[in-house]
Chains A and B, each alone.
Chain A
Amino acid sequence: MILDMAFKNLIRQGMRSLLNVLVTALIIIAIIFALSLLNGFQAQALRNMSTTDVAGGHYRVPGFDILTPTEWEDLTLPVPQALRHLPHSEKAEVLVQQGQLFPNRRLFPVQLRGINIDQSLLDLPLHTLKNGRMEIGETIPVVLGKQMAKKAHLTVGDTVVLKWRDKFGAVDALDVRVMDVAPMINPRIDEGVVWMRLDHLRQITQRAGEVTWVAVKRPVGPVAGFEFQTVENLMADLLTLLKHDRRNTRILWFFLIALAGISVFNTQILNVFKRQKEIGTLMALGMTSKKIIRLFSLEGILTALMAIVAAAVLGVPFFIWFQGVGFDISHLSETGFPVREKIFLDIKMAEVVYSTLVTVGIMVLMSWLPVRKVARLEPTQALRGRAIT
């Protein structure tokens, strides 16, 4: 009976109820949207790191640190037996060496990164290298990232002197030809990096069969002589940054919910205030204050439930539309975030349920708080509309 009454009350309030429902629904949508967009962004940032560099982790030569270039030359080893048999789709052999580029006859220290050209584990824009021959001719074909090309003032087709050391310490130099200036979706493999074929880099540094690390699709257990770097290790910095983003989204969520809460709270408080006579009548007719509180709270709960329905009706088409369009954030890549293209929502069911529940919970709380005082009402005063002033 109470449910029936509550529902009728709600319907009769017309526009006022509708607005509350709408607001709550929109807030649910906004929260899910914000969280999912962030998920999408994070997923993409992590995926890009993963597809361009980290994969499922690296088997690295122990002690190797990408931040200490002076030691790169000492830290290479032949590909370990355990990884040798892996297919190209499950491993990428990488050799990292120091080099010096001389654009405009000025020194530019670079990282030479050779990657097995047949690998398909990592997604890198190096197809121009693939077409080349294994032998090195007059020039070594290389690919540069956009940022790197800009910094070094180089464009496609340019040749520039590269100097390096071979395994034995002998100095060597040759012109390299920029085959392509490719957008690297991950700035960490762009700035200061000169990409070349692994066989070329091995050849010019006399390091046949050697690697600095082997990126693998999934760990294959301990490999003698190599240390395994987990994805978490390799992405620690990024994960910290993303954690902060997540916190900020939560705060945004707080603002939205506070707004919705206020709306429901206001409705309820005025309801109690202005519907004293109704409350008094109900009490006079024998309804307990508990039941009346339940009635009013139920109105709030119904608002929230209707909001969920409305959120589904409005939200689903919106999300479907958005997934088709995406959100372009191409410029972020130039600052250190490994995200370049459009990002899409990554809707996590648990999160949707969780945030909907929290929103509804707060709505219910907000509709219950103001009606608590009904319990203290004197029916006779209430009937006259003088119980609350």
Chain B
Amino acid sequence: MIRWILKGMLRDKSRSLFPFLVVAVGVALTVGLLGFMDGVFMGMIDMTAKLDTGHIRFVNKPFYEEEHLLPMDRALAGQKKTLAWLREHGDPRIQWSPRIRWGAIMDIPDEEGNTLSQTPVIGMAVQLLDPQSPERKRLQLEQSVIKGKIPSRSKQILVGYQLAETLKLTIGDTATLMGQTFDGGLATDNYTVSGFIRFGVAAMDKKMVLIDLGDAQQTFYMENMVTDWLGFLPRSVAYGDYEKIKQRIEQGLAALIKNPPEDWASDDEPIVLSILDQRNLGEIIKKFELIRGIIVMIFSFLMVLVLWNAGLINGIHRYGEMGLRLAMGETHKALMASLALEAFAVGLAGAMAGCLVGGTVVYFLQEVGVDMGDAMAQSGLMVNDVVRGRLSVEGFIRGIVPGMTASVAGSLIASLAIFQRSEANLFRELETG
């Protein structure tokens, strides 16, 4: 019997191919849409995360409370031990990235080494030098460095491109940083300008510079110290899970504070923050979810209508066949069941195919992205033209469920008609087609 149905389905394109295609495209569109929307939002989160907050941030409370002053003296020591602890107590999916936020005066010398110009800069120190460093990819340095190169040797500096313009810098120039050491002393050091970086946000393009973490530790006498531990989770981890991941780290924190690494200062008190705790992103996410909910609802509703219609159309065109089958002695119920089964099978296959297609596209967007921008447009690390996606189980479910139920419901509603019409009537439709 099942083979018979299967054969029938495969031979009749209108029974298999068209509904299959409609469900597949519908599901693919839904998965794609959700993936795209999540991607846009995750993109926004990620931009903030990459340079500022991480997905999870482990930071000394006194530093965090006076963040606007960049109090480097409240950095957290014991880099290696802290990292070991974080790896042990944090979620294994987290990639921990040590950073130093710093501020200094950048002094540009003339040929004789006398001061030519000076300006205060805000800096971030990240692990730049190792070509394998995940930070290079994370900060999209390949794309964001618009002139010159990513630092490859010690004491090289990346300068925001507008800052470079203001100071009339060229690649290879010396830039002296003058700031405070960890313990409040004078820190001075020479750097070589290796490249100009575009963040895409004027405030950063005009004021920000990037140096290697090891260099910063040397310049500011912060050996084995960092101001921030930023934890990065893969794109596949939903932001809804950040809170749980954060709490897991917090559980072990009390014990750590009670028995801290010996390098820590006595009043050091690290705290764990998720990105949602910072820059008010938590509230924004709630708003985003609301908007997404509305869009998904509208879209699902439309998809249900489309699939229902497709089921209806496909069903109606088979009235003749139904008449024939009824005439041959199949009961109404059996017929309905077989139709439902058929619709279910087609819906399932369509949903699978849709997931596959939609999922592949979203996966591609997630991993590679598509650059929609024109080359001249203002874009950079923080704002860019690359469309991203994000694959999630939820996206699939939200695609599959309406995709399948609607097509099954559509054909069932269409087949309800067989109860209302006589076999003869249905049979006649076979003739007129």
Contacting pair B314 A67 (CB below 8 A): no
Complexed CA–CA distance, A30 and B26 (Å) = 17
Of A124-132, A196-204, A306-314, A327-335, the segment with at least 4 beta carbons within 8 Å of chain B is A327-335
Q: Answer whether residue A287 sits at the interface, using C-beta atoms and an 8 A cutoff.
A: no
Q: Using Cβ atoms and an 8 Å threshold, which residues of chain A touch B206? A: 65, 67
Contact of A276 among B26, B305, B314, B433 (CB under 8 A): B433
Of A216-224, A247-255, A292-300, the segment with at least 4 beta carbons within 8 Å of chain B is A247-255
Of B260-268, B294-302, B334-342, the segment with at least 4 beta carbons within 8 Å of chain A is B294-302
Given contacts A262-B306, A267-B309, A335-B281, contact A247 B29 (CB under 8 A): no
Contact of B14 among A151, A270, A278 (CB under 8 A): A270
Complexed CA–CA distance, A274 and B29 (Å) = 27
Q: Using Cβ atoms and an 8 Å threshold, which residues of chain B touch A20? A: 309
Q: Using Cβ atoms and an 8 Å threshold, which residues of chain A touch B301? A: 26
Complexed CA–CA distance, A275 and B207 (Å) = 69
Given contacts A255-B36, A331-B287, contact A274 B14 (CB under 8 A): yes
Q: Answer whether residue A85 sits at the interface, using C-beta atoms and an 8 A cutoff.
A: no
Q: Answer whether residue A23 sits at the interface, using C-beta atoms and an 8 A cutoff.
A: yes
Q: Answer whether residue B231 sits at the interface, using C-beta atoms and an 8 A cutoff.
A: no
Q: Using Cβ atoms and an 8 Å threshold, which residues of chain B touch A23? A: 302, 305-306, 309
Contacting pair B383 A259 (CB below 8 A): no
Q: Mark A245-282, 1 if CB is under 8 A from B, else 0.
A: 00110011001101110110011011001111110000
Q: Mark B358-386, 1 if CB is under 8 A from A, else 0.
A: 00000000000000100001110001010
Q: Using Cβ atoms and an 8 Å threshold, which residues of chain B touch A70? A: 119-120
Contacting pair B33 A19 (CB below 8 A): no
Q: Using Cβ atoms and an 8 Å threshold, which residues of chain A touch B385? A: 244, 247
Complexed CA–CA distance, A259 and B403 (Å) = 12
Contacting pair B13 A273 (CB below 8 A): yes
Q: Using Cβ atoms and an 8 Å threshold, which residues of chain B touch A274? A: 14, 317, 433
Given contacts A244-B383, A269-B18, A270-B313, contact A259 B306 (CB under 8 A): yes
Complexed CA–CA distance, A266 and B202 (Å) = 49
Complexed CA–CA distance, A70 and B106 (Å) = 13
Q: Answer whether residue A290 sits at the interface, using C-beta atoms and an 8 A cutoff.
A: no
Contacting pair B26 A262 (CB below 8 A): yes
Complexed CA–CA distance, A278 and B433 (Å) = 9
Q: For residue A65, which residue of chain B has the nearest CB?
A: B206
Q: Using Cβ atoms and an 8 Å threshold, which residues of chain B touch A385? A: 433
* Interface size grouping (class) on chain B: 35 or more
Interface centre among A27, A243, A244, A331 (most CB of B within 10 A): A244
Nearest chain A CB to B52 CB, angstrom units: 11
Nearest chain B CB to A148 CB, angstrom units: 10
Q: Using Cβ atoms and an 8 Å threshold, which residues of chain B touch A256? A: 299, 302
Q: For residue B312, which residue of chain A has the nearest CB?
A: A16
Complexed CA–CA distance, A67 and B36 (Å) = 35
Within A118-160, the residues touching B (CB, 8 Å) are 151
Q: Answer whether residue B284 sits at the interface, using C-beta atoms and an 8 A cutoff.
A: yes
Q: Mark B303-323, 1 if CB is under 8 A from A, else 0.
A: 101101110111011000000
Complexed CA–CA distance, A231 and B281 (Å) = 28
Complexed CA–CA distance, A23 and B313 (Å) = 15
Nearest chain B CB to A362 CB, angstrom units: 14
Complexed CA–CA distance, A16 and B309 (Å) = 6
Q: Answer whether residue B110 sits at the interface, using C-beta atoms and an 8 A cutoff.
A: no
Q: Using Cβ atoms and an 8 Å threshold, which residues of chain A touch B286? A: 331
Q: Answer whether residue B201 sits at the interface, using C-beta atoms and an 8 A cutoff.
A: yes
Given contacts A30-B298, A266-B310, contact A389 B305 (CB under 8 A): no
Q: For residue A241, which residue of chain B has the nearest CB?
A: B383
Q: Using Cβ atoms and an 8 Å threshold, which residues of chain B touch A192? A: 68
Complexed CA–CA distance, A288 and B310 (Å) = 29
Q: Answer whether residue B32 sits at the interface, using C-beta atoms and an 8 A cutoff.
A: yes
Q: Answer whether residue B279 sits at the interface, using C-beta atoms and an 8 A cutoff.
A: yes
Q: Answer whether residue A107 sits at the interface, using C-beta atoms and an 8 A cutoff.
A: yes
Contacting pair A331 B306 (CB below 8 A): no
Q: Using Cβ atoms and an 8 Å threshold, which residues of chain A touch B302? A: 23, 26-27, 30, 256, 259-260
Q: Answer whether residue B66 sits at the interface, using C-beta atoms and an 8 A cutoff.
A: yes
Complexed CA–CA distance, A273 and B318 (Å) = 12
Contacting pair A335 B284 (CB below 8 A): yes
Q: Using Cβ atoms and an 8 Å threshold, which residues of chain A touch B281? A: 335
Complexed CA–CA distance, A106 and B200 (Å) = 33
Complexed CA–CA distance, A256 and B317 (Å) = 27
Q: For residue B310, which residue of chain A has the nearest CB?
A: A266
Nearest chain A CB to B350 CB, angstrom units: 12
Contacting pair B305 A19 (CB below 8 A): yes
Q: Answer whether residue B203 sits at the interface, using C-beta atoms and an 8 A cutoff.
A: yes
Q: Using Cβ atoms and an 8 Å threshold, which residues of chain B touch A247? A: 372, 385, 387
Q: Answer whether residue A304 sits at the interface, using C-beta atoms and an 8 A cutoff.
A: no
Q: Answer whether residue B59 sits at the interface, using C-beta atoms and an 8 A cutoff.
A: no
Nearest chain B CB to A171 CB, angstrom units: 20
Contacting pair A240 B383 (CB below 8 A): yes
Q: Using Cβ atoms and an 8 Å threshold, which residues of chain A touch B372? A: 247
Contacting pair A277 B284 (CB below 8 A): no
Q: Using Cβ atoms and an 8 Å threshold, which residues of chain A touch B283? A: 331, 334
Nearest chain A CB to B264 CB, angstrom units: 22
Complexed CA–CA distance, A245 and B39 (Å) = 13
Contacting pair B200 A259 (CB below 8 A): no
Nearest chain A CB to B38 CB, angstrom units: 12
Q: Answer whether residue A68 sits at the interface, using C-beta atoms and an 8 A cutoff.
A: yes
Q: Answer whether residue B114 sits at the interface, using C-beta atoms and an 8 A cutoff.
A: no
Q: Using Cβ atoms and an 8 Å threshold, which residues of chain B touch A109? A: 68-69
Q: Answer whether residue B238 sits at the interface, using C-beta atoms and an 8 A cutoff.
A: no
Q: Answer whether residue A349 sits at the interface, using C-beta atoms and an 8 A cutoff.
A: no
Q: Answer whether residue A354 sits at the interface, using C-beta atoms and an 8 A cutoff.
A: no
Complexed CA–CA distance, A299 and B135 (Å) = 57
Q: Answer whether residue B280 sits at the interface, using C-beta atoms and an 8 A cutoff.
A: yes
Given contacts A67-B203, A236-B202, contact A335 B68 (CB under 8 A): no
Given contacts A251-B36, A329-B287, contact A16 B68 (CB under 8 A): no
Q: For residue A336, which residue of chain B has the nearest CB?
A: B279
Q: Answer whether residue B159 sits at the interface, using C-beta atoms and an 8 A cutoff.
A: no
Q: Using Cβ atoms and an 8 Å threshold, which residues of chain A touch B387? A: 247, 251
Complexed CA–CA distance, A331 and B387 (Å) = 25
Closest 8 CB pairs of A and B: A331-B283, A334-B280, A19-B309, A263-B306, A255-B33, A274-B317, A277-B433, A23-B305
- Chosen A-B contacts, 17 in total, with CB atoms closer than 8 Å, are A15-B312, A16-B309, A19-B309, A19-B312, A67-B203, A108-B68, A237-B203, A255-B32, A256-B302, A258-B29, A259-B306, A263-B309, A266-B22, A273-B317, A276-B433, A331-B284, A334-B279
Known A15-B312, A19-B306; 9 more pairs at CB < 8 Å:
A16-B313, A23-B305, A30-B302, A237-B202, A240-B378, A243-B377, A255-B29, A274-B14, A274-B433
